[in-house]
Structure 1
């Protein structure tokens, strides 16, 4: 897959909505963008089927109540608003692959995170949203979708940026679908938070990189995860490999895709070419430009749905949605970009704030 240049073609693409939720939280987002959520649920129903979504909603709701999940009321409220199957289960769906790297920013002060998120479901790139959310620890920008209560990728100006990658599916049998069911049963028996909910708590509660690093390393989880964390100084960056109860730390410059680095845990691969994607990210994370010219195969592939660059020291976030046939949105830039040759800078140039 080749990268489409940002030019006349990209100018005709839709903008990514930049939505200020204040302190209202994710429950307010479906009310602001109901058409986005409708399209997403249509795509998910085509991909998964209505009956599996309905069963997943029922089982997931029961688990959220049983474990007294802190966001269970939000998720239930979203489901009531939507009035369709899928809104509950998709909040805890783990079927994505990612490529993420963190290193000192080559063009501005601070540390920088490069990030792609891959998911086979169509429509996620075209219906991407960035929200501005207020929390106890401060403001953060969340790259998300209407109806989703967790955090996968976000940037908190002056604090840190962070993202989640998914480890391999644990190997119990030769059949991946059987192992998925076994893995789900193991998750239902654990009291730790889902990784996407832990990362949300980090952005809501942690005021510094060190606080975030400690929380991501130590808090119990109900499922394994890889966290990438990027702070405000050049050396503040790391990848954290997590099992439910243990962690391994890799200081920046560091990269992660979807295979274990330090843990020896047999598993089924998430996505394709995980080793090749990491090798590619290792070669570019410290020097790539912010213009998405670093989006090359195999990091860029037909399942890529999100590309992002984040620098919390500069309060800078650059995001674009992708689908199988290429860019699905115009790039959204939040904060000041590096001065170009003419000496000008862009500030949220592509956004329509709602």
Structure 2
């Protein structure tokens, strides 16, 4: 069984190669009528009070969502144990305990609180808070209309290789994360600092807006060492002079006062793992894709001659903008096609949602779609389903 599971990624690629050649034409039509979304799929709103002690900040959410978090994490734990040896699993858990105790304030304290409130061991709460960086594929789009008004949309896709349900054609983890998807209003001194779309019990930030300032989404970036080298340095060499991606973005959302300040912080902070930051602002032209290495960066700005898209929008999936995506991934190509077909005169939230609803940009991994406008402070998200025929990612 373990040898079969080890070959699963290769089998999926082979399947996609066949799927692409036999069914690709079904996914070339841009969606035109998905917006407005079903209101019943809207993500519920909760509050995070930063004036509370870190141990208590997640209590209301854990009271409601705790059992579902436990079920999801237990499932992931069992999936990992089915692939690796028991000895390797025990080493992993031991090191996750060590990682947790070394995390900066207030992340460690918040995770201790989540552990106490949910009944999950701290090691598994830590796994839940870092697994995103290993198992995600996403799409982010920023568009500017003719008047200079900016729109930001994203699909968050996750659960890759974590339990494919052959009967229902779904990823088990993606299915379990949908009811855990929440909109969070982060408050301090009675004032709203920012909003984010997140998962209950996840203390970092992946999708967020700061009204009258900027919008932000995070897409995974594949690299030879991924985040493993940074994690090993953190564990083995006590190298703390690096930031966890989702912790850095939360700090930026709490502290940055402008698009420019956020851009600088996201570009120049040393990271534990490579990543793409997609940042939108208030003024015309304030949009960029920040391609991060652990120490260095590349910035592609809205309207840049570097873009493979039009001058009025940016598209990022999970591949460097100066490279072609692999043959089995149509998402970026199709997103560009749909944006160009519609044209800048139709730039809007409805356009972004329709593009994000076009298969395979919408796929079996898609947990939610989010739309944001910094100038109005508007943020909305909806959990997604992808009816067959639909790509695994």
TM-score, reference length from structure 1: 0.76
In structure 2, do the counterparts of structure 1 residues 182 and 246 end up closer, same or farther at CA, with 3 Å as the change threshold? closer
SS of the residue corresponding to residue 88 of structure 1 reads helix
The residue number in structure 2 matching 1:278 is: 332
Q: More displaced, 218-227 or 162-171?
A: 162-171
Q: Cα distance, 1:289 vs. partner?
A: 4.3
Counterpart-to-counterpart distance in 1, 2:69 and 2:103: 27
- How many residues are treated as equivalent by the alignment? 310
The equivalent residue for 2:276 is 226
Structure 2 equivalent of residue 63 of structure 1: 99
TM-score (norm 2): 0.69
- Are the structure 2 counterparts of residues 116 and 30 from structure 1 closer, same or farther at C-alpha, using a change threshold of 3 Å? farther
Structure 1 pair 238/45, CA: closer, same or farther in 2 (3 Å)? same
Distance 1:187 1:324 in 2: 38
CA deviation after TM superposition for structure 1 residue 280, in Å: 2.3
More helix by share: 2
Shift in CA distance, 182/245, structure 1 to aligned 2, threshold 3 Å: closer
Contact 2:149 2:284 in 1 (8 A): yes
After the TM superposition, which residues 59-138 of structure 1 pair with which residues of structure 2 at under 5 Å, given as runs? 59-66=95-102, 68=104, 70-85=106-121, 86-93=124-131, 94=133, 95-105=135-145, 110-120=149-159, 121=173, 122-135=175-188
Q: 2:374 aligns with which of 290, 307, 312?
A: 312
Q: State whether structure 2 residue 187 is matched by structure 1 residue 158.
A: no
Instruction: Give the match for residue 240 of structure 1.
Output: 290
Q: Distance in 1 between matches of 2:252 and 2:323?
A: 24
3-state SS of 1:151 partner: coil
Classify the secondary structure of the residue corresponding to 1:81.
helix
In 2, the alpha carbon distance for the partners of 1:97 and 1:126 equals 19
Aligned CA distance change for structure 1 residues 223 and 5 (closer, same or farther; 3 Å): closer
Q: 1:200 to 1:56 in 2, by over 3 A?
A: farther
How far off is 1:128 after superposition?
A: 1.1
| Structure 2 stretches lacking a partner, 5+ long | 1-26, 82-88, 160-172, 303-312, 389-393
Q: How far apart, in 2, do the equivalents of 1:64 and 1:33 lie?
A: 19
> Compared with structure 1, are the counterparts of its residues 76 and 33 closer, same or farther at alpha carbon in structure 2 (3 Å cutoff)?
closer
- Which blocks of at least 5 consecutive residues in structure 1 are unaligned? 172-178, 327-354
**307 and 204 in structure 1: CA distance in 2 versus 1, 3 angstrom threshold:** same
Query: Which of the two has higher C-alpha Rg?
Result: 2
Structure 1 residues 80-89 or 135-144, which shifts more?
Answer: 135-144
- 1:331 paired residue number: none
Task: Report the equivalent of 1:349.
Answer: none
User: Per the alignment, do residues 48 and 143 of structure 1 end up closer, same or farther by CA in structure 2, a change over 3 Å counting?
Assistant: same
Residue correspondence of structure 1 range 1-354 to structure 2 within 5 A = 10=38, 13=40, 15-24=42-51, 28-49=57-78, 56=92, 58-66=94-102, 68=104, 70-85=106-121, 86-93=124-131, 94=133, 95-105=135-145, 110-120=149-159, 121=173, 122-135=175-188, 139-170=193-224, 184-186=231-233, 188=235, 189=237, 190-191=239-240, 192-252=242-302, 253-262=313-322, 273-274=328-329, 276-284=330-338, 287=346, 289-291=348-350, 292-294=353-355, 295-323=357-385, 325=387
